[in-house]
């Protein structure tokens, strides 16, 4: 069974109970778009859904894990994708970021502002981390209008 990804419905898989999860939940609740937030600490995707998401993203399931938050995870060991699903199932709080899908689009995000890509919003400067880069404060295209 493939992961349900209807057009005009944003599916968002994330681990609740963290600062990132709280920010994501608030953003999704405030949204005027049709969203399906799925907190994996409460409702875990099936093994097939995990494999489907990783395949669509072209990554290993290991890229979804903060291995420092998993007891008895040894970086030097080789884990099968099936083993990694079991690790995610037992350690949902070790899940990094969120997987966001709408129709054929899918992304593994680590900042809630990356959701703006699914809302067709010009994020002028929001992709910057202000302590490292200057914010964009001037028009970048002829249609930008900064007040």
Q: Give 53-79 as a 3 state SS string.
A: HHHHHCCCHHHHECHHHCCCCCCCCCC
Question: For the purposes of burial, counting CB atoms within 10 Å of the CB of 126, is it exposed (0-12), middle (13-18) or buried (19 or more)?
Answer: middle
Neighbours of 144 (CB within 10 A): 11
Is 17's pLDDT higher than 70? yes
Which segments of the chain does DSSP mark as H helices, in order? Answer: 19-30, 47-57, 81-90
What's the rounded Cα separation, in Å, for the pair 135 and 123?
Answer: 11
What's the rounded Cα separation, in Å, for the pair 64 and 70?
Answer: 12
Q: What is the pTM of this model?
A: 0.75
What's the rounded Cα separation, in Å, for the pair 71 and 82?
Answer: 18
The predicted pLDDT at position 117 comes to 87
Question: Residue 34: which residues within 8 A CB-CB, separation 6 or more?
Answer: 8, 9, 10
Mean pLDDT (the chain) is 83
The predicted pLDDT at position 95 comes to 95
* Topology of the domain comprising 10-118: Glutaredoxin (3.40.30)
Q: Which two tokens stand for residue 135?
A: 């914010």
CA triplet 28, 129, 63: central angle to 5 degrees?
Answer: 65
Nearest residue to 82 via CA among 37, 47, 113 = 47
pLDDT digits 0-9 by tens, 94-135: 999 999 999 999 999 999 889 888 886 555 555 555 555 566
The predicted pLDDT at position 1 comes to 43
The predicted pLDDT at position 16 comes to 93
């Amino acid at each position: 069974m493939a992961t349900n990804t209807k057009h005009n419905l944003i599916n968002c898989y994330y681990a609740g109970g963290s600062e990132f999860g709280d920010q994501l939940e608030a953003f999704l609740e405030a949204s005027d778009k049709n969203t399906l937030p799925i907190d994996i600490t409460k409702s875990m995707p099936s093994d097939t859904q995990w494999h489907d998401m990783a395949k669509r993203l072209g990554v290993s399931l290991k890229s979804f894990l903060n291995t420092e938050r998993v007891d008895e995870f040894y970086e030097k060991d080789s884990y099968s994708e099936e083993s990694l699903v079991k690790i995610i199932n037992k350690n949902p709080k070790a899940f990094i970021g969120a997987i966001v899908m709408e129709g054929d689009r899918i992304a593994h995000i680590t900042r809630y502002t990356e959701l703006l890509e699914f809302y067709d919003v010009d994020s002028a400067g929001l992709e910057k981390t202000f302590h490292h880069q200057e914010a964009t404060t001037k028009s970048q295209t002829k249609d930008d209008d900064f007040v």
